[in-house]
Amino acid sequence: MRWVFVITLILCVSYASEVSQIFDFWTNLFRPVPRNPKEGFVPDYTPKYLEQFDFIIIGAGSAGCVLANRLTEEHDWKVLLLEAGGNENFFSDVPIFAPFLSLTPLNWGYNSEPEQKACRDLRGNVCFMPRGKVLGGSSVLNFLIYQRGHPEDYNDWARMGNEGWSYSEILPYFKKSENIQINELKNSSYHGRGGYLDIDYASYSSPLQTAFKDAGEELGFEWNDPNGENVIGFSKPQATIRKGRRCSTSKAFLEPVRFRQNLKVSKYSTVLKILIDPYTKKAYGVDFFKGNKRRRVIARREVILSAGTIGSAQILMLSGVGPADHLSEMGIKTLADLPVGYNLQDHVTFSGNAFIVNDSKLCVNDLTAASPLAAAAYLAGRGPLTIPGGATGLAFARTSYAADLSEGRPDMELVMGAGSLAGDLLGILRSLLGVTDKWYWKVYGSLPPEVRQRTFSMNPVLIRPRSVGRLMLRSANFSDHPRIHPNYFHHPDDLRALREGVRLVEKVISTKAFQRFATRIHNVPFPGCEHYKFDSDDYWECAIMQTSITLDHQVGTCKMGPAGDRTAVVSPRLLVHGVQGLRIADASIIPRIPASHTLAPVVMIAEKAADLIKKDWARYPFY
Ligand SMILES: Cc1cc2nc3c(=O)[nH]c(=O)nc-3n(C[C@H](O)[C@H](O)[C@H](O)COP(=O)(O)OP(=O)(O)OC[C@H]3O[C@@H](n4cnc5c(N)ncnc54)[C@H](O)[C@@H]3O)c2cc1C
Ligand SMILES: *[C@@H]1O[C@H](CO)[C@@H](O)[C@H](O)[C@H]1NC(C)=O
Ligand SMILES: *[C@@H]1O[C@H](CO)[C@@H](O)[C@H](O)[C@H]1NC(C)=O
Ligand SMILES: *[C@@H]1O[C@H](CO)[C@@H](O)[C@H](O)[C@H]1NC(C)=O
């Protein structure tokens, strides 16, 4: 039963993605009704050899789709958008399927190098690092949660010398992109109406959500809008959802403008390098691969790199922009010696715990999600399949490691899942986390299937990590995935803070609100940690290193900072230091990771980047 289901799903998505390369048009038929009239199939365009464009955007991901839309608002700017992947499909639209998309060809399939203190035991200390390879990029693979972070996160960016990036200066861009659908937030001065990106709640709320709210109140937390005045508090997740379906940046920003004459989108186009004149240091074009042919296009004004934290850093280094010592090791001539690949930051979460309740109607696990009833509700935009990545509650709080942060700034997040790893009868979550069947049966096998279905999860997320990683090339060949060293828990406080997060979860679970369902933790110890006393501090530290996974919030490999900052790759106007005509706009420019999920910040960055570009070229209209 389990494998039949998993294999069928994988075949369906693979088929939809593969067919999309051969018969681009047909995959659109996988898209469901009713369709928003603004949505629709993005036509594929193959540029001619040496064809010229004003702007060439690399990567139609979360940021790239926003830029393509905003730059083509200028009618006389001819824009080319290059994307390695193809179209979204019916399955990637279903919010609760999010974890499963990482197993399909919509994922680039990057892995970390073996880690010392994370992802232990599961698969040779290697952490999966999914990234979207599709129009919409990682906004198609992600868990849909829309979260911006704390105002001081951005004031910190400004304090690092990044003029124009303080909270009051970037809030207008969050609002500009947003089309808030949540009634009680429509009048909030923190939210925008009439933007392209729909933000909504899942239309399904489980009784567990009420318990979560009550538990928060019992512990003295307010039930709030964490994108509003106060971040700390308990809340229902806001998500990039349109009528119960995923609202990727492609659906939001690209599809409504797909017929603009000055916008060309070339799909299945893998960029190999940016062409930079070695004497003038000006970026003038892009080499890419499409249909087994190497191709070249020319940029009259700018090349804009939006290939994401991994892609942008890799392409830059392959183009000769990066740390000189590392590039010469790889046999690449250095055109600009910049610290590309350093400053890699990410959020990890401890995701192995399951909490058992005494009523199966409270949780959403495989069997509920796979039922025909749920499928029927989904087609009407409702039901459990609309839960964003399975998350039904968010909480932001402070641990004792937040002492260096001003009041009101959180360093810990809790994400409550409607189901848990224990309820993963079909094996999808297991595959995402990299948990082996052996591990699963050892930990959860003692529970009858009926009990495994009435479990949920509550995962602490380390949102102010102190550890920093690095990304390097493996070779000068684009096909070789880069070497990624996230260094999770390298700083000992990170492990301790996350352990405090586990304790906070225990507090929430022991409230009256959760005890109404006789909620208890499943207390079989994780393999490799049996020698510690269950629930001791040492036990949790061991368990955290054993099963923590990334929330896929990698940022920072092309750090933004002012001229003179030797750790910076791009300026506060997002121009690559020492190179002309080359800008970066995506998660890679983030100097310090916000205490938040990263999609909303990336969309904001792209909105601001578009305005910076418009202003710069209005001032210098000749090229
Ligand atoms: C599984 C998962 C879950 C997540 N959950 C959440 C969440 O719930 N909430 C949240 O806010 N954030 C979440 N995130 C993080 C968030 O989605 C990312 O931070 C954000 O989408 C990154 O945007 P980006 O524009 O930097 O990169 P991307 O969106 O990844 O875009 C990069 C694009 O460039 C393309 N590209 C790369 N290299 C090349 C090349 N050489 N040639 C051509 N094209 C190329 C890629 O195919 C891709 O389309 C999640 C991410 C993942 C993967
Ligand atoms: C929002 O404000 C308008 C005008 O002030 C008012 O008519 C409307 O009822 C308000 N809506 C909500 C949900 O508060
Ligand atoms: C790059 O790597 C791919 C896959 O490993 C290989 O097929 C290709 O020949 C390599 N290219 C070069 C120029 O070595
Ligand atoms: C669940 O447990 C609570 C508290 O022990 C009890 O009051 C309630 O009746 C139980 N519900 C079910 C369905 O067993």
Same domain assignment for residues 246 and 232 = no
Same domain assignment for residues 254 and 316 = yes
Residue of 258, 305, 343 lying closest to 72 (CA atoms) = 258
Q: Is the CB of 406 under 6 A from ligand 2?
A: no
Same domain assignment for residues 314 and 395 = no
Same domain assignment for residues 284 and 363 = no
Mean pLDDT of 549-554: 94
Confirm whether residue 443 is marked as ligand binding: no
d(C-alpha 393, C-alpha 205), whole Å = 10
Same domain assignment for residues 610 and 484 = no
* pLDDT exceeds cutoff 50 at 566: yes
* 37 is a domain residue: no
CA atoms within 13 A on the CB side of 320: 16
Contact 275, 92 (CB under 8 A): no
Contact 61, 586 (CB under 8 A): yes
* pLDDT exceeds cutoff 80 at 454: yes
**What was the pLDDT predicted at 34?**
45
**What was the pLDDT predicted at 133?**
97
Same domain assignment for residues 328 and 420 = no
Same domain assignment for residues 82 and 176 = yes
| Per-residue pLDDT reduced to its tens digit, 196-236 | 999 999 988 878 999 999 999 999 999 999 999 999 999 99
Q: How many domains does the chain have?
A: 3
Tell me which H or E stretch contains 327: helix 324-329
Strand partners, 74: none
- For residue 297, give both structure tokens: 């296009």
* 439 is a domain residue: yes
Mean pLDDT of 149-159: 98
d(C-alpha 65, C-alpha 407), whole Å = 36
Contact 236, 206 (CB under 8 A): no
* 36 is a domain residue: no
Identify the band that residue 61 occupies on the pLDDT scale cut at 50, 70 and 90: very high
* 142 is a domain residue: no
* 220 is a domain residue: yes
* 126 is a domain residue: yes
DSSP string, 42-86: PPP--PPTTEEEEEEEE--SHHHHHHHHHHTTSTT--EEEE-SSB
Alpha-carbon 423 to chain mean position = 24
Q: Is the CB of 512 under 6 A from ligand 4?
A: no
* pLDDT exceeds cutoff 80 at 340: yes
Candidate from 100, 303, 431, 598 with most ligand 1 atoms within 8 A of CB, to mutate:
598
Same domain assignment for residues 396 and 455 = yes
* 15 is a domain residue: yes
Share of the chain above pLDDT 70, in %: 93
Contact 551, 567 (CB under 8 A): no
Same domain assignment for residues 198 and 211 = no
Q: Taking the alpha carbons of 439, 443, 445, 449 in that order, is the dihedral positive or negative?
A: negative
Q: Taking the alpha carbons of 586, 147, 550, 21 in that order, is the dihedral positive or negative?
A: negative
Identify the band that residue 24 occupies on the pLDDT scale cut at 50, 70 and 90: low
* pLDDT exceeds cutoff 50 at 267: yes
Same domain assignment for residues 358 and 501 = yes
Identify the band that residue 380 occupies on the pLDDT scale cut at 50, 70 and 90: confident
Identify the band that residue 33 occupies on the pLDDT scale cut at 50, 70 and 90: very low
Same domain assignment for residues 288 and 253 = yes
Confirm whether residue 134 is marked as ligand binding: yes
- Provide residues with CB under 6 Å of ligand 1: 58-64, 82-85, 102, 130-133, 137-139, 141-145, 147, 269-271, 306-309, 311, 315, 389, 552-553, 586-587, 597-600, 602
Phi-psi label, residue 460: left if phi above 0, alpha if psi -120 to 50, beta otherwise = beta
Same domain assignment for residues 77 and 169 = yes
* pLDDT exceeds cutoff 70 at 622: no
Residue ranges making up the domain that contains 494: 97-133+207-236+347-550
Candidate from 187, 191, 225 with most ligand 2 atoms within 8 A of CB, to mutate:
187
Contact 409, 447 (CB under 8 A): no
| Per-residue pLDDT reduced to its tens digit, 237-249 | 999 999 999 999 9
Contact 583, 44 (CB under 8 A): no
CATH number at residue 232: 3.30.560.10
CATH number at residue 301: 3.50.50.60
**What was the pLDDT predicted at 372?**
87
Identify the band that residue 367 occupies on the pLDDT scale cut at 50, 70 and 90: confident
C-alpha of residue 416 to centroid of ligand 4, in Å: 21
